[in-house]
Amino acid sequence: MAEIVVLSGNAHRDFADQVCAHLGVPLSHTDIRRFSNDCLWVQIAENCRQRDVYVIQPLVPPTQEHLVELLLMLDAARGASASQVTAVIPHYAYARSDKKDASRISIAGRLVADMLVTAGADRVLTMALHAPQVHGFFSVPVDHLTAIGELADHFRGRDLDNTVVVSPDLGNAKTATQFARLLGLPVAAGSKQRLADDRVVIDAIVGDVAGKRAIVLDDEIATGGSIIELLDRLAEQDCTSVAVACTHGLFAGKALQRLRDHPSVTEVLTTDTVPISVTDWPEFTVRSVAPLFAEAIYRINGGESISSLFDGVDPTHGPPQPQLPFGHA
């Protein structure tokens, strides 16, 4: 590897430490202070001149605090004459604000993308954006990782007879289908209508779930409202049990308790894109994606392919498939 500098804010320093451990490089010190007027101040202790700099910071609560930290670190790295600055954002919180679905609102996903580029990001490395169009909000290259291979590995080797993969909504059905193919399972999806941030209605299940075990796959669980609504509809259709899996396990408020108390839930699986610590629930598992991010950083630094990481995992992220000549079936 060419000489690199890896920085982290306060959002998820443990994750940054794990990435550095896999890369075999130290996590450089960043001094973040707060003035008496509540303004933040950032100083990078490492020489960044003509070096490849990676700033690791998921946008997790308090989201605005961590966003400003990230912007200041990007600006500081650019001002220190870094050759390239990559914003490594395991969880891009504003990806849910991807369209104008009400009058006089901001498309915050695009606004935050513009802010990151203005602050100094030459490239973005992230995982499981909520909607594909968010990728297009950025005017710089975006390497978009997926965790479905890591999540699927958790279930490999088990008896998956009479099991179905279920997406909470039709918008996530494509990812759920790719996940189901990795495990050789059928797929179903809920027909969801969101009424508010914590209120959803699922009025139908598309697919056969009666008498089957389900693996519910979602990109993010915040309040758990969508998942609980889906669990209730699955129970009404005689689904026998449910394993819940997601990439970004935010579990705001009482979300974890709601899942733990639901009679259908047998286990919960998530990744470490956001900080979480659950020690008193044996059926709760966190799979680390730090090695995947470390490999992506290694390949970015060396000018190697990122898409080949997903050969056989996800054709959306992997290399393009050969096209047949025009007129051939």
Q: Catalytic residue numbers?
A: 192
Q: Is the dihedral of CA 305, 310, 312, 317 positive or negative?
A: negative
Instruction: With H, G, I as helix, E, B as strand and everything else as coil, classify residue 65.
Output: helix
Instruction: Please list, in sequence order, all residues whose beta carbon lies within 8 angstroms of the beta carbon of residue 89, skipping any fewer than 6 positions away.
Output: 57, 58, 59, 70, 124, 125, 126
Compute CA distances 305 → 3, 20, 32, 290, 308, whole Å.
19, 20, 34, 18, 6
- Backbone torsions φ then ψ of 17, nearest 5 degrees: -60, -40
Instruction: Please list, in sequence order, all residues whose beta carbon lies within 8 angstroms of the beta carbon of residue 115, skipping any fewer than 6 positions away.
Output: 67, 71
Helix, strand, coil percentages, rounded to 5, for the chain = 35, 25, 40
| Buried-exposed string 95-106: b where 16+ CB fall within 10 A, e elsewhere | bbbbeeeeeeee
Give the pairing of strands 30-34 and 40-44. Answer: antiparallel
Question: Could you tell me how many residues make up the chain?
Answer: 329
Tokens representing 280?
A: 């008193």
Q: Please give the Cα distance from 137 to 107 (Å, whole number).
A: 10
Instruction: With H, G, I as helix, E, B as strand and everything else as coil, classify residue 62.
Output: coil
**CA angle centred on 103, ends 101 and 104, rounded to 5°:** 115
Q: Please give the Cα distance from 248 to 219 (Å, whole number).
A: 6
Instruction: Please list, in sequence order, all residues whose beta carbon lies within 8 angstroms of the beta carbon of residue 294, skipping any fewer than 6 positions away.
Output: 18, 19, 20, 22, 23
Tokens representing 76?
A: 């500081």
